[in-house]
Structures are given as C-alpha cells and as structure tokens.
Structure 1
Amino acid sequence: MASSSDLDPRTPVLVGVGQASERLDDPGYRRLSAVELAAAAARAALEDTGAEPAALAAAIDTVAGIRQFEISTPVATAPLGRSDNYPRSVARRLGADPARAILEVAGGQGPQHLVNELGAGIAAGTAEVVLIFGSEAISTVRHLAGAPDRPDFTEHVDGDLEDRGFGIAGLVTRQQVAHGLVDAPSQYALCENARRGRLKQSREEYAAGMGELFAPFTTVAAANPHAAAPTERDAAELSTPSEANRPIADPYTRYLVARDQVNQGAAAVLMSVAAARRLGVPENRWVFLHGFADLREQSLLERIDLGAGPASVLAAQHALELAGIGVEALATVDLYSCFPIAVSNVSEGVGLTATDSRPLTLTGGLPFFGGAGNNYSMHAIAETVHRLRAAPGSFGLVGANGGILSKYSAGVYSTTPTPWPVSRAAALQAEIDSWPTVELAQHADGWGTVETYTVTHHGGSRHGIVIGRLERDGRRFIASTAPGDEDMLALLGDSDPLGARVYVRSFGRGNRVSTSEERMDQLFPPRAPVPREAYEHVLVRRDGHLLEVTINRPDARNALHPPANDELDEVFDAFFADPELWVAILTGAGDKAFSAGNDLGYTAAGKPMWVPKNGFAGLTARRGMTKPVIAAVNGYAMGGGCEIALACHLVVADSTAQFALSEVKVGLVAGAGGLVRLPRAIPPKLATELILTGRRISAEQALDYGLVNRVTEAGGALPAARALAGEILAGSPTSVRASLQIMAETDGITDTVDAVNHPSTALDDIMVSEDLIEGLTAFAQKRTPRWRNR
C-alpha cells in the first residue's frame, strides 16, 4: 500500500457521500421531485467532503445521473412530468455548470459502474471532479398523480447530454414478451426455482432459506432513518403467505421482492488526489477504490444453469483479487438484494453466508430499505464510506446487480491509500462470452420436461410460465399455461413440477404447456382446414378451382391486426388442403390499398399483438406453398403489405399501385420476410436502398425491377389476376404443384448441376400421376385435357 504523498496526483478518491429521503407520513413532508431529492443528496455529499461546497460545485466538470424508473423503458410514463435533462437539472440547483453530463443506462449496476468508469477517467486525466447521483420519487408520484393540487415536475434545461439509452438490449426478447415474461419478479422467480432444483430442496425448505437470508436485512432497515419500510420481521413472517404478504410469483411473497415505492436520493463526489488537495478536502474524508469489475452475463434463456449467475461471482472475485484481500478481510458487505437469489448467488460464490457475523447489507436491502430504482447501490456506497471512515484501514465490498443477474459491478473500498488498480475484466468478459449456450426452440411442439417454472398472481388470477427441454432434441423452450388449465396450474402450484413431463404446443401467440397431449387437445381442439361460412375481416369467393380472397378492412387501408391475420391463416390452410382448389388470388377491398401492412393504430393502442405461425396474412412464413398464389395489388402495398406480395408466387398490379418496405419510417424492420425476399428478387444494391430508405416505387418501376409480372390500368388488377389464373388453370395442376415444389427445394442450391440433379419426390409423383396419362392422351387425341389433380 502507498502513502498519500506517494500517489499519482490523478489517482481517484471518493471524498463525499450524501443521502436524502422522505416518507408520505413524515412530519413536514415536502412532496419533493426526483430532481429535488437528488439535489438534496448532492448538497449533503458536497458538505460531507469537509471542504467549501460552493467551491466544489464550481469545480465539477462531470455530472452523471442514474435513470429513474420513469425514464428507464420506452413505454414508461411520468404522471407528474419530468426533466428533459436530469443531470443538468440537478447540477443547476447546485450552481454547477459541468462540461459533461451523463445519463446512465438502466440497471442497478449503474452507481458502482459509474464509480468504476469515471474513476478510470480521472486516473486517465479525462476528468477531475465528478458528481454521481440518482433518485426516485415513486411514492410521491403515485400518491399525488390523481390529486387536484398535484405538482408539475416538468422542467427543461439546456446543455449537452450524453444519454446512453435504456441499455435493455438482450434483456427482453420477443419470446419473453409473447409469454408474459417481462417483469423482474417472474424472471427472478424462474432463476430461484432453478436454483432450488439444483440444491434438491423442497418448496418449504427453500422458502425457509429465503426468509432466513432476509430476516437480518429487516433488522438493519429498522435502524436506518432512510428506510422505506423500517420494520423488523422474522424469517417465518417473510416467507409465509398472508394477507399482507401476498404471493407475487412463486416462490416469492411480497416481503421477498424489491420495494419500489420510495422517495430517496443518494450522491457521491469523486475527484483526483490533486483536486482534493487543491480544494481543501481533508485526507480523513478520502476513500479509495482498491478493486473493481464490471461484467455481463449471458442472456437469460441462453444460460446452461438458470439458477446461477457466474459472471456476477467473477466480478466480485476479481474486485477482491485486485484489492489483494479475501472475504475474511472485509469489514462491511452490501450485496444488491432485489430478490434473494441476487444475494445468495454472489455470497455463496465468494464464501459468505447468511449466518456470517457481518450482515450482507448496510442499508437494509431493496425489499426493506427500498428499491430506490436503479440507484440503490449509491446508498450502499454512501453507507460503506461512512463505516470505513469510522474504522480506518478496513475494507468494504459493494456488489451492484442489473437486469436478471445480467450486469454486475463490484467495488472494494478502503481509506488506505492505493494506486489506481489495473483490471483484467476485459479478459474475463471474453471468457464469459465464450461459454457454451443453450439452443432455444422458438416454436416448441411435443413432450418435454420442466427445467424451471413460476406461477404469477394478479388480482386473484394465476398464470404459469415454464422453461423446459424438449425430449426429442434437448432444445430449451419457454411456454405459458392456457387460460382455464387448472390441471397444469395444480402441477405448478401444488406439487413439485421440477423434472416433470409436460406437453407443449406452439401457436401464433406463443407456446402453451399442459399436462398431456389429450389435455392440450381439450384446451385447443384441432381445427380442420375447412373454410368458415363467413369471416369478419376477409371475403372469400370460390369460382371452380379458383379461390379469391379479399382483405376486407378498407377503412384501415386493409392493414392487418391479429384477428385479420388469423382469419387469413385459416383461409389459406383451407386452400392448401382442398384438392379441388388449384389457384388463389389475394387482393384488398376498395381502390386505395392492397394492404398498408401492420395496423399500427391497433399496435399503438396497446392491444395484444401476435402473428400466426404461418406469418403475416398466413403466408410470409408458410412452408410448402405448392399451389400458386397471385397478389392482385390495387393501391398501396406498404410494409407488411409489400411483404405479403413478395411472399406470393405472382404479382399483378394496377397503375395506381405503390410498393415500399417502409418499416424504417416507423422504427421497425421488414421482419416478415421483406429483408430476405427483396434482396433475392432484385439486385442486392437496389434492394438495400429500398429497405434502408423506405422509398416507394410505382407499379411500372416494380415491373422493371422484376417484382411484378403484369401492370394494368387503374382498377384492373383483379381482372388481370383472374386472367393469369386462367392461364395457369389451363395446365396440369399436378405439374404446377410439382414445379413449385422443385423450385422451392432447389432455391438454396447454388451449383446449377447439383440443383438439376436434386432428387425430388415431386418427379416420382409426376411419373405415376393420372394427370400425366391424361395430358399425353389428350395430346394424342387432339382435345383439351380434363385435369383431375391426381
């Protein structure tokens, strides 16, 4: 260890910490906004340095703010308004005008990560005096949102802002959303039950263990003046369901999950040794970072063991390694505690236990001290600094977790002077990134076994989520229970389903899981591929061997929403199953649009969204399209509408038609086949231009590019499509079907001779078909063939 006089002047040192809070029932409750809470904590941090606060504020060159929940996701709202530049709003209240302002990504790792990152920046000379802070006023916002005298927390502040975005990439997938797996309690519950399975514990044993882990946390919270729920509780009370301790997501009850209804703020001042000396910060206020690490875990559903977070353990171990100490040397520990597994995962990994004489929290933990949103660990850092100053030379560990055991930042602190450590976290991250992963089955069908599970509780209703492995190939799947499936809910909620055999089936809305194939058939009776008498969003007309299908939503420019997609999927199931239907035409009602694609108004209204397994309009992801489908395009074929046309075998357009993959214009991508089919249909450079710009092209341009077969006068697309269908119907339907099959089979074979020699069963079928005999006989007899399609 070095003395302070031997240190590089750029060595970073933590010199001040501060906290602020208020509860709704406090005397003198002030209804502070998140900005005001952060400013109060920042003032306390400046005063904590022992130097002149005004001089310190003037010296700040960098401010970094932790995102509140109301700005942590794209759909979050702020009922009382919010600042459009949170870091500078706080800085302005302190009289600071920093050159750089940062708004960190979402995640509980943020406070410790910023200390690590900006400490490295100070050591490198890119910053000198840094203020880091965060806050939440969720309790106040919920309390006053409907009040007639509610405050307005809206404010605008000029100045540059380095907004790092939400940082949630990889944390929420389409698969998870489709199965209702988006909230933290549900996802952590899956991890918790997977851990229980690995430990081979019963439900009761595991629940008791969670209560024993968190009971000491309540004791700490009860003595903390900033705690949101300062009530001491024993292990049994924490883990036993009751009216006050209702089930949330098995195995969690209310007392075992993070409490987000808080009004709290915390801040820290970090500066170089040179700045500390210049600004008159006494050395007895200095606290050094002896070790640190920032690591990221694999995505949740890719992990071999869903009940562990080895990257988090590696981060804590590496921080201790850099500090040159073991866990026995730690005087204080605060491990992020949103849910029990976030604590047990790291504590067991580094050799700490719930019965250790040192508590695993300094604040009282997220369920009892309070979640404080993404900023919880700033409070842990503040408490660590106070305790280390009281015991000079001792060490404290702060572990900060983000995502679903996804992002972990760790720091080891001490008042003992030390040079800035050199981390090898990049090499550790490369090691993590090389770990094997589990293949996920997007569409899961057949028997499987339960790997982990949870049952969520909302207003008296229950919803089961299962992660399992398919028996036939070992791929992992995610599935949810069907409404009304009490048998499956009983398996998940009343017995021990880990390792149980279950049956899973895929649908457009996602995978569903039940106790058996027979029970699945009861819940979802197999649908015969026959047409209905009538449809709500589709018109169907049969003319001999020709089927005409009209998207009948002209008021929405024939844009498609889930009910319309489902109907089209049914219609085309029936078409491909009916041996007497040989050609289909798809068009749009009215003269304005073939289809404007996805119904964005329906989507924006927050209604449930899904697409059939066979894709948009039941076509864009359909395999085995061995009967010709003709798109009769009248007017707009935009976005998904253009993708439907691309999925059809032939396209006839009238002169008013316009085509575009316009998804980039609304923040989407042409994910229903447009990104694949367009570059295969036209020159790749041209396809790339159309995809990246969303530019519209006319029917004549589409004809020139080879996207359209024929162009007619306005209003003539459907008659021309019928004429084209007639030409096809004049040929053998068996030959047409075989031709389409062989073209599809050889589409991916690049070598021409290999493609020609491809052994297709379609050729065998042709050789024994009645249509072949009829065709040769009719030719010899000089008459029109009478095709039988067999």
Structure 2
Amino acid sequence: MERPVVSTTHNLNPLTPVIVGVGQFTEGVGDPNYQALSAVGIAARAALAAFGDTGADTAVIASAIDTVAGIRQFEASTPGALAPLGKSNNYPRAVAQRVGANPKRAILEVSGGQGPQHLVTELSRSILAGNSSVALIFGSEAMSTVRHLAKAENRPDFNEEIDGDLEDRGFGLKGLITMSAVAHGLTDAPSQYALFENARRARLQQSRNEYARGMGELFSPFTRVAASNPFAAAPTARTADELVEPTERNRLIADPYTRFVVARDQVNQGAAVLIMSLRAALDLGVPEDKWVFLHGHADLRERDLLDRQDLSASPAAVMASKHALGVAGLDAAELATIDLYSCFPIAVSNVADGLGLSADDPRGLTLTGGLPYFGGAGNNYSMHAIAETIDRCRKEPGAMGFVGANGGTLSKYSVGIYSTTPTEWQQDRSAQLQIEIDDWPAVPIADQADGWATIETYTVKYSKNGARTGIVIGRLATTGERFIATGVDGDNDILSLLSEEEPIGQRVYARSFGYGNRVTTTDSRMRVLLPSKTPTLREDYDHILVHRDGHRLEITINRPEARNALFPPAHEELAEIFDAYFADPTLWVAIITGAGEQAFSAGNDLIYSATGKPNYLPTSGFAGLTSRRAMNKPVIAAVNGFAMGGGLETALACHLVVVDENAQLALSEVKVGLIAGAGGLVRLPRTIPPKLANELILTGRRMGAREALDHGLANLIAPTGKALDAARELADEIIVNSPTSVRLSLEVMEQTEGIADTVDAVTARMRAIDDLMTSEDMTEGLTAFAQKRPPRWRNR
C-alpha cells in the first residue's frame, strides 16, 4: 500500500514525530520580578513558552494535546522525601490545567536525569504508532524558593489536589540503592561519583594534581557558556584553577570534588518540549522552519554499581552514544553541537573518552553551561539541553545536535540526535543491546568483609564542620569479592592512606560488624581500634534480663512497653548474650522469652525505624540468632502471647518452640510494606507445609497455638502465661542427657541439612563422630549405664 505524503516537499509518513516547540523559564530569588512560583507554576511558564515557540495559535495547540508527561521533582524522587512547601498530587495534570490542556493521558516519569530524553524518544514512538498526536513533556524545580521560604512566617502553600488519571511510574530506583550502600553512608551522589573519578585517575596513571587540573580544564569552558546563558543559575566564568583549588567558598565535598565541580541544585528552572506528528503540525499551522527531527536515539542501562567489572567507566553510556550515532548514520566528527550530561566531571569524560572528544573540542561539550553552572534542575536538566539543541538546529539548518542524558550513578543513559533535516523514523536496537549488557559478568560481592584486601577505589567525604569519613571499595585477598567499607571514627591512619598519592592497590584490613564493614591499615591497628570482646555475661543489660540456673540460661527481652519489639541496642545485647552462651561450657540450654504475658516479641520496633536513626542488625542477625551459624547448643523459644514478624523469625531460629494457649504467630511484614528478610521467608516454608507457609507469608495471617502445634511449628502448648515454665521443664529433660551428645547431634544435623540425598547425608564424613569417640562423656555414659548409676557429665 502506498504511503500518503505530508506535503509536496517531504515524502514522509504523516505520523512521523517532529519537535515543534521548546520553552524555558527561570526566576531567581533576588530577581526584581521574583514571583516565588511553585514547580507547577514554573513548568506552566515553560510550557506556554513552548507553545509560543511553535509560531501557531497557543490556544489551538493546548486544546490538541492528548498526552502530557512530567519529570519527577527531587522532592518526589525518593521514598520519604520532604516537600516543605507542599506539592501537587498530580503534577502532570496540574501543569496541563494551568496551560489550558485536557489530555487523555498523563505520565509521571521515574527518577533520573535520563528522563527528558527517554520521554522524547518514547512519546515519539507513541506518535509514530498512532497512539498519540500531540505530546507535551515538561519538568521543573523550585528548590531555591523552597529553601528561601521554608521557614518564612507567611510561606506559600504549594499543595494541589488535581483529579484525573495518572500513570505514575514510581521512583525507578531498583538497583540504585542497596542496604550495603546505605549502611556505609554511600547514598549521596558526590561520594558515589567520586569513586568512579578516582578509579579513572588510577587507570590513567595521573597524579592527583594532574587529574584535578584536567577536571578544571574540562569544566572551565562550561562556565563560559553558562556566563552568557540568560537561564543559567550561576552565570560566572571561572578558570580551571578556580574550579579545583580548595578555598573557604570552594570547599572539598568528596575527594576529588570541590563544590565548584558538582551539580548545583539550588535552582528555580523549568523547561518543556512539544512533539507532534507531521500531520498534526500541518493541521495546527506550525511552520516547517520550526520542525526538528529525531535522527538517532538509544536508551541503555549499566550494570548496578557493585556488579560492574570496571569502576572507572560506564561502557553502557558509551554504547548508547555510539548506537544513537549509528542509527543517525553519523560519526561524532559530524556533530555540530554536543551537550553531555555534566553532574560531575566523570559523566562528561566517560562519554567523551568513548567518542574521542577532548575537553577543548571547538564545538564545546555543553550548550547550556552544564549542571554545576547552568543549574542541576533535578531530573530535568536535559530538557534544557534539548531546548538549547533545538534552538541551535533551527539557527543552523541541517546541523546535527547530540544530547546525552545520564541518570543514577552512571546507571541510565539516553541519547538523542536532532536536526531540521527531514527523516523517516529510524528504529534503534536498544533492547537487543540491553540483553548484551545484562549478560556481562558481574563481580562477586561480600556484604560482610573480613580479612586482608586491596583498595579498588575510594573517596573521603568532607562535612561542613571539617569532619572526614573515608569510604573504600575493596577486594578481599582470599576470594576476590568486592565490598564497601568505611574507616573507623577517629582513625587517622586510614585517612592518611587515602590521602596518599595513590591509595588504589594499597593493602588494607577489613572487619565486619552489624553496622557495616570497617577498614584500616593493618590487622593490628584494627585490634587496637575495635578490640574483640571476650564472650562473657554481664550482670546488667539495658534491654535484656539474664538469669542463670545451673546449666540453664534464661534470656528475657525486657521491653514490655513496646511489646518486646527489638531495635539495634537490644539486638546488640542479645548478640553479646548468645555469644557468651555458646562460648560457656557450663551452660547447656538457653531459653529466650519476652517480659510480661502480652508478647514474646512484636518484631522490629517500627516506631524506632520511623525516626530515621541507623537501623541495623548484628552479624548474627535478628535477636542475635537468625543469621548465627554453628548453633550447637539448644535454644528454646518460650512464646508468651504475640510473636510477630521478627519475633516469629526469632522463634523459627530456635531449636524448640513452646507456645502458650494465647500465642499468636505471624509474619506480618507485608501489612506494613516490609518482608520477612531475617530468615522468615526461608525457615517458615521449611518448617510447615509450603502452601500453608505461602498463605501466612502473603496474607500476614496470624496462626494460633493449636494450629502451630498441629503443623509442627511448635513442640508443645502451655497454659496461658506458663510458656516459660514449660520451657524450663523441656530444658531440664535435655540437661539430664550428655551435653556432648546434644552438641554433636546438633552439629551433624546442621552439617547434613544441605545434603539432598539421604544416603549421601548418612555416609558423609563427619568430624563429630570422631569427636564423640574421644569424648569423656561417651566413656562416662557407657560406664554409668554398665554400673547402673546416673552419669556425671563433664561436657567434654
């Protein structure tokens, strides 16, 4: 079937997407006409500017929009982020309402600086497929206003309740935030990017001064572009030395970054891009000299940070850039303009290295002035880069403009290549390339690092008060596993090492704790800084009660006001107590219970978690038990009342469970947005029928005492309030037996648990058998039996 033509000059599919309007808006807190606009207000101004840029009737354009897509503000980009002045519940439709549009579809994009270019490509495809005709994309930030007025007496209220469907795509943070990174303070962008930067310096074998000079020479031209850009937040030209020389104003942020080379987030900026089909452009009266076509495009995602083979580069970003050029049929030398995402120097140099571009390229590597100088408008910076590129393409018809947009930690990269030269839509192969990237081998990772290691990369974080924190990415000498660690507070030795000319490749010593891995220069230094404790029982604990009765140890969680819920200090005490129990040969059985009759333990203290204070587990796990290996002496859970979430996980980690008649057991994490990650998801399906375990886990349903007994989760039921008494009786039944036999029996059961074949498990070589043959208790047991007297166990 012959394709219809658009006009006499272009034999193109009438659904070919074309950019027809761009707009930008900014206001400074000190500007004469400062209006203190909200993010919605700023975006609306940029959108109206984009309508005006089309050269067509603004009202007609607005009424034709069927799709709007908004870039997520910083204050809506992470869970729990604050919006001091409030925000709209439906940002895209709030902006649409301000500009007179009533779209069928509204999108709120995921977090990340790749968003603007990704949406241009995605909605262009939607237009080509006939699913949209006119689409408006926009983004904005009012961070300067929020900071300026957050504590003002008559501060504005930016809250808006807007009706209408919203395609909220979520935060899009999967793989970008990990428990290990959070535990080690590796959550801020400067520290994360500094790791890449220092790895690149080492790969290039440059000195610190050489590399710093290179960063300054890379970004000095950016400052000159920003100085002439009316939309720039920091329009001041600076020399290379000014950018990288630490001063009181240009303080160190994270080695090797000073403040002048990191993205500036204190901005009030907005930008918008209007895309439509050629048919719509003709119908709406948009002149052809406004049309700009997307010649090349690509969207790729890098492996997660710690999985990457090389921490000095992002090959996926380079692959995306080269692929987009290939789709456009171009070489980098044929580009007229280039704008590389520039939150930090490495984001620019990574792609520039891959494309063979130099810092002094006469075309320049930015059109806006870059994020540190034009402004880091949250996730929306590249919308401004696209707007500037469209403007330049129109001024130089036929010229090709490149926009590279980066998101995450060199994680997501979207590329667009623009020109006024008419072209058919060209399909890209990003999906196939992504499969290739996902198949790249990952580096083995150790969440808990112990032993000698080498530094792979590093940074030192500087707080405003001058305090320093060293962060190391290392490789364990024994396994090659990669890990994150920080220095020990007050350890100047590791800070001195990280300040040497080349720390990368240096030997260090790591040790794991519940709160994270710590690293210093030597093992002897670690013993001085964090001496190992001899496992012993103290007389008093803040949150736990301990009572010895002969060979029995009774451990009571003493937080009845919180239903015996646990938080880090209590976990640490329990870990210390159980360390002492397993190390003490005179203690043969332990019982853990909760104070009062209401609860054994309600699990994790959610009220404490909500405070934002560090929330971690000791290396031995929840209650000092759930991740503990070699539990070769019996632990009995005396469950009085509720055992919820982590409370049930604690009971599941015990060898025996006694419940009272009122006991209620549940893995209730799904009811509060969590998962039973302290062993419940593993142990419950191995303890009771899997289908029943699935039901309990997925519904959070409570299981009563009788049901727990019937399905083998509990050993016996005691009258209400008598679980501890029944547990004591059970413990006494164990204590009359050989503690050596009990201990070795537990060891054999633990060691054979992972052997699937029964005969293989029975015939497996076990040191426990040899230990039993040479034990005094075996001899005593046989002798006592022959002499018809009670044995006198020695536990050896």
Name the TM-score class by shorter chain: over 0.9
Matched, 1:570 2:576: yes
Matched, 1:606 2:612: yes
Give the percent of matched residue pairs that are identical in Structure 1 and Structure 2.
68
Matched, 1:584 2:604: no
- Which residue identity is paired with 1:624? A
- Which residue identity is paired with 1:601? I
CA distance in 2, matches of 1:319, 1:477: 34
Q: Match for residue 156 of structure 1? A: 161
Deviation at 1:495?
Answer: 3.9
Runs of 4+ in 1 over 3 A off after TM superposition: none
Q: Match for residue 332 of structure 1? A: 337
Q: Match for residue 383 of structure 1? A: 388
Matched, 1:617 2:623: yes
User: 1:469 aligned to 475, 485, 490, which one?
Assistant: 475
CA distance in 2, matches of 1:751, 1:451: 42
- Which residue identity is paired with 2:781? G
Residues 431-442 of structure 1: pairs in structure 2 closer than 5 A: 431-442=436-447
Q: Match for residue 644 of structure 1? A: 650
Matched, 1:751 2:722: no
CA distance in 1, matches of 2:761, 2:435: 42
Q: Match for residue 252 of structure 1? A: 257
Deviation at 1:494?
Answer: 4.4
Q: Match for residue 520 of structure 1? A: 526
Deviation at 1:490?
Answer: 1.2
Contact 2:202/2:502, CA 8 A, preserved across alignment: no
CA distance in 2, matches of 1:731, 1:110: 67
Q: Deviations over 1:388-423 (max 9, x none)?
A: 101101100000000011000000000000000011
Residues 534-545 of structure 1: pairs in structure 2 closer than 5 A: 534-545=540-551
User: 2:723 aligned to 717, 727, 735, which one?
Assistant: 717
Residues 463-502 of structure 1: pairs in structure 2 closer than 5 A: 463-502=469-508
Q: Match for residue 30 of structure 1? A: 35
Q: Deviations over 1:98-124 (max 9, x none)?
A: 000000000000000000101011111
Contact 2:450/2:512, CA 8 A, preserved across alignment: yes
Q: Match for residue 666 of structure 1? A: 672
Matched, 1:373 2:378: yes
CA distance in 2, matches of 1:573, 1:109: 49
The 3 A distance-change label for structure 1 pair 751 and 134 is same
Q: Match for residue 84 of structure 1? A: 89
Q: Deviations over 1:63-86 (max 9, x none)?
A: 000000010000211100100000
Deviation at 1:4?
Answer: 5.1
Q: Deviations over 1:502-540 (max 9, x none)?
A: 111011011000011111111101100111121111111
CA distance in 2, matches of 1:35, 1:760: 69
User: 2:56 aligned to 47, 51, 54, which one?
Assistant: 51
Matched, 1:313 2:318: yes
The 3 A distance-change label for structure 1 pair 393 and 335 is same
Q: Unaligned 5+ residue runs, structure 2?
A: 1-5
Deviation at 1:749?
Answer: 1.4
Contact 1:560/1:597, CA 8 A, preserved across alignment: yes
Matched, 1:111 2:122: no
Q: Any idea what SS the aligned residue of 1:5 has?
A: coil
Contact 2:12/2:424, CA 8 A, preserved across alignment: yes
- Which residue identity is paired with 1:258? A
User: 1:770 aligned to 767, 776, 779, which one?
Assistant: 776
Residues 110-259 of structure 1: pairs in structure 2 closer than 5 A: 110-259=115-264
Q: Any idea what SS the aligned residue of 2:221 has?
A: helix
TM-score (structure 1 length as normaliser): 0.99
CA distance in 1, matches of 2:720, 2:481: 51
CA distance in 2, matches of 1:474, 1:634: 46
Deviation at 1:288?
Answer: 0.0
Q: Deviations over 1:693-749 (max 9, x none)?
A: 000011111001110001011111001000000100111111111111111111111
Deviation at 1:93?
Answer: 0.6
CA distance in 2, matches of 1:135, 1:741: 61
Q: Match for residue 351 of structure 2? A: 346
Q: Match for residue 559 of structure 1? A: 565
| Equivalenced residues, count | 790
- Which residue identity is paired with 1:488? I
TM-score (structure 2 length as normaliser): 0.99
Q: Match for residue 294 of structure 2? A: 289
- Which residue identity is paired with 1:359? G
Backbone CA RMSD of aligned residues:
1.0
- Which residue identity is paired with 2:12? L
Q: Any idea what SS the aligned residue of 1:504 has?
A: strand
CA distance in 2, matches of 1:78, 1:749: 53
CA distance in 1, matches of 2:772, 2:319: 63
Q: Match for residue 400 of structure 2? A: 395
Range that drifts further, 639-648 or 521-530: 521-530
Q: Any idea what SS the aligned residue of 1:210 has?
A: helix
Q: Match for residue 411 of structure 1? A: 416
Q: Match for residue 761 of structure 1? A: 767
Contact 1:4/1:417, CA 8 A, preserved across alignment: no
CA distance in 1, matches of 2:313, 2:490: 33
Matched, 1:450 2:455: yes
Q: Any idea what SS the aligned residue of 1:399 has?
A: strand
- Which residue identity is paired with 2:529? L
Contact 1:334/1:398, CA 8 A, preserved across alignment: yes
Q: Deviations over 1:103-151 (max 9, x none)?
A: 0000000000000101011111111100000000000000000001110
